[in-house]
Amino acid sequence: MNLRRTLPWAVLALLVAAQIGYPLTDGGGRTVLTVATVVIGFVLSVGHAVLSRGPRSAAALVLVTTGGGLAVEACGVATGFPFGGYDYAGTLGPKLLGVPVIIPLAWTWMAWPAWLVATRLVSGATARSAAARVAVGAVALAAWDLFLDPQMVAEGHWTWLDTEPALPGVADIPVGNYLGWLAVAAVMMALLQLTGAAGRAEPAADPPMYALYLWTYASSVLAHAVFLGLPASAGWGGLGMGLVAVPFAVALIRARRR
């Protein structure tokens, strides 16, 4: 048995099980599953980076996305920049610099599959290719927040101080938050590009991360539309994250048919 290949799939299965359980619980049970899901997702992404690219790439990933995520969230809580003014409730566990510790872990969890999806969609070593990869990766990561923020606000994990202007049907979150996510995601992707974090790996190494990204997209649309009572965010997230997820799924299907 090749643990480098099988271990990420096993952790992904654990993550999927936790996410399936989320809409089937409520109250404190959902909070426990939220924290557990983020921790499992962080372990999955960092562990995959170690197994597929080595400790240096994993360290670059953690520095850029976990460290960077903490820094930008601490700045956001203290100043309102770059997402707008918001406050975290005390529901997500211990805080560091006013930020629940699991929040920077969540940046890492989704940044890694978003970056690997971008590197699969946009190949090449030219400056133009690199810029395109960064742009695709930024959209791939930032669009996830079209699902994340409405879900977490609905659960009371954080609140916005000024919610206008907002997307139609998603009144509790300002549009500026999503623009801030896009800007931060672009910086993170540019740094991952500069550090060469994706590097080279065996062809069979990355499918668990591809599956993670596509699962996150499809399951989020379904959960928001059917189980969580958030049809507007199902639509906005479906459109936004679909800009990357749908072409990526098509590219994978075409590659399998060759």
Distances (CA, A) of 52 to 33, 37, 39: 27, 22, 20
Percent of the chain with pLDDT over 90: 90
Positions in the chain short of pLDDT 70: 1, 203
Nearest to 151 by CA among 233, 68, 238, 59: 233
What tens digit of pLDDT does each residue of 14-25 get? Answer: 999 999 999 999
Distances (CA, A) of 243 to 4, 121, 124, 250: 30, 12, 21, 12
In the prediction, which pLDDT does 125 show?
Answer: 85
Nearest to 57 by CA among 112, 127, 122, 104: 112
Distances (CA, A) of 227 to 18, 46, 130, 169: 15, 30, 39, 17
> Distance between CA 140 and CA 223 in Å, rounded?
19
In the prediction, which pLDDT does 203 show?
Answer: 66
DSSP assignment letter at 94: -
Which two tokens mark 19? 């996410």
In the prediction, which pLDDT does 244 show?
Answer: 98
Distances (CA, A) of 16 to 39, 135, 235: 13, 28, 22
3-state SS assignment for residue 171: strand
Give the position of tokens 């404190």.
Answer: 28
| Domain range list for the chain | 3-257
> Distance between CA 37 and CA 163 in Å, rounded?
27
